[in-house]
Chain A
Amino acid sequence: MFKALSSKNYLPCAVVLVVLLLLPPILPRFYTYILALIFVTALLAMSLNMVVGHGGLFQFHHGVFYGVGAYAFALLLFKGHMPMWFGFIVAPLIAALVGLLIGWFCVRLTSLYFGMLQISLGSLLWAIVFRWYALTNGDDGIHGVPIPSFVSSVSNAYYFILFFFVLCVGIMYLIHRSPFGMTLQAIRDNPARCSAVGINVKRHQLIAIVMATFFAGVAGVLFVVLEKSVFPDLLFWVLSLEIFIMCLLGGWFTFAGPILGAAISVALRTFVGIYTEYWTLILGVLLILLIFFLPEGVMGFFMQKFGKNRAKESVPAGGQDAQG
């Protein structure tokens, strides 16, 4: 257990990173763009998994905080004419503040009620963005957000996004391994037992939500850097469902699973989307197969199969949930 962080785990990560750094000059622009989009989506899914997979919270409308981050960033630049870095710092903070507000109400409820309240409050925000034409341009969205020229090309945006993706995932990893992260996993497993060992469960959950929504805000900013536009769909519940599925798909009890889930999901949407607009049909079938054959997600499955050391992070075969 104590050697889980050993250098042999770093090596594959480093190799992947080097490959990713070398890709843009070789790849066609379109693929570079898709990869960058995968990083943005993966960061979003990772932020959701902080509270879903590791916190056990029914964060059903996480997309809202992504949208808030993106809109805050776009509006600061487009209407406020603020410098990009100012927007970059402030937008995730606004997302975290909204996360704090919504979370403050939601942690008072448990499980499904938590999720339902969040869907309602989140949909309210979506409705505001959709209707407040003067500020947000409604369903037209905002296009042509003035992104500085040094990140405006696709390959520059790619490097920019990759840098912040790696930075954020690194911070998330530290949090995951910290006493806070461990306590959060304990709360996921058994909240009542946690309060019996002196842990203020609701406060921990709220802190986790604020952190997760902050990272969702960062993902929102990165999305705008890549797309230079925002639209209300970013806050729509369909997207929230999609990132929830990414977590399940990749393996929500693993750390890096959601990255894989996001990659699969974005790739499906892009490449199956070429042939049919009903790509969600494929995703649905995939999800059904997943529930039956890989209940621990793709990453969870491979960890159980090949990584003895890391498999301990996920649950052993057989339903241990009955203990909860």
Chain B
Amino acid sequence: MLRVENLYKSFDKFLAVNGAELAVEKGQLVAVIGPNGAGKTTLFNLITGMLKPDRGRVVFNGEDITKLPPHEICRRGIARSFQIANIFPRLTVFKNVQVSVLSQQRKSTRLFRPARTLAREETRGILESVGLWAKADTLAGALAHGDQRTLEIAIALGNNPQLLVLDEPTAGMSAEETGTTMALVRRLAEEQGLTILFCEHDMEIVFNVAQSIMVMHQGTTILQARPETVHNSRQVQECYLGGA
């Protein structure tokens, strides 16, 4: 479904992504792991068009999407969440998701019908499935951190994506919130058949949830394989797991 081929990106002279390779099959839960600064977020930004690569290709459903702007990539079916809560703080939780649903339905440029009559059921469905419906009328900026991160995912779901890209969905969460969020991610994959690409620091989570793991180090892909294989790989242990 998604193929990343030999991707390069440098900032000034720092090579953030240095020949990354990645393959995501339909219906898979794929994790990208690597130490801090390995280039995981940059890789995600390249896939979703927030950054343009210096070299290499990103292919989605057979189409080269490397040079497309973010909103076009989103319309092809890739939605993402961000590492830091990236929401609309002055809008209510409901509107946060509604904006994204309306965009998906190509209704964002409608001028004279009140927005409150549109996309209500879809928005409600998403908020219920992530457990935020009770807070629908709260201003997003007033939510607790964990809820804001969940809202992140809900906004991405509003695009009804084929591929969901989650950049550290549990960053800064308590152990309990982390558990809830990962259960949610898993449930989305199972119930809605979503393909999910995520990166995560907590190894326990990764090895529990992911069906395929890509290991990055200094911008380069070390390997991508099934969790057992990654776990036993000496190469990975040396560079990442600290040779424990």
Contact = CB atoms under 8 A, between A and B. Distances in A.
B240 interface: no
A201 B85 CA distance: 20
A320 B89 contact: yes
Interface string A188-209: 1110111111111100100100
Report the contact-size class of chain B (Cβ under 8 Å from the partner).
35 or more
A178 B112 contact: yes
A323 B91 contact: no
B112 A316 contact: no
A180 B109 contact: yes
The 8 closest A-B pairs by CB, nearest first: A320-B141, A198-B74, A189-B88, A197-B100, A323-B89, A195-B70, A183-B108, A186-B99
Interface string A143-183: 00000000000000000000000000000001101111111
Contacts of A253: 90
Contacts of A25: none
Contacts of A281: none
A198 B112 contact: no
A195 B116 contact: no
A180 B91 contact: no
B118 interface: yes
A28 interface: no
A284 B95 CA distance: 37
B110 A185 contact: no
Contacts of A324: 89
B20 interface: no
Interface of B: 48, 50, 69-71, 74-75, 79-80, 82, 85-92, 94-96, 98-100, 102-104, 107-116, 118, 136-137, 139-142, 148, 155-156, 158-159
Nearest to A174: B112
A181 B110 CA distance: 9
Contacts of B156: 196-197
Contacts of B99: 182-183, 186, 194, 197, 199
Given A1-B116, A315-B141, A316-B142, A198 B92 contact: no
B139 A186 contact: no
Contacts of B113: 178-179
B74 A196 contact: yes
Contacts of B139: 312, 315-316, 320
A204 B115 contact: no
Contacts, number: 143
19 contacts: A1-B92, A1-B136, A175-B111, A177-B115, A178-B110, A180-B111, A182-B95, A189-B91, A192-B86, A193-B88, A193-B155, A194-B103, A196-B74, A197-B79, A197-B103, A253-B90, A315-B90, A320-B139, A323-B89
Given A196-B79, A199-B103, A315 B89 contact: yes
A63 to B, nearest CB: 25
A182 B98 contact: yes
B91 A182 contact: yes
A16 interface: no
A316 B141 contact: yes
Given A1-B116, A192-B50, A207-B109, A198 B71 contact: yes
Contacts of A19: none
B95 A178 contact: no
A13 interface: no
B87 A199 contact: no
A178 B115 contact: yes
Contact of A198 (B109, B148, B159): B159
B111 A178 contact: yes
A174 B102 contact: no
A30 interface: no
Contacts of B148: 323
A321 B141 CA distance: 8
B112 A175 contact: yes
A199 B108 contact: yes
B104 to A, nearest CB: 6
A106 B83 CA distance: 30
Interface string A252-265: 01000000000000
A285 interface: no
Contacts of A312: 92, 137, 139
Nearest to B106: A198
B92 A179 contact: no
B137 A197 contact: no
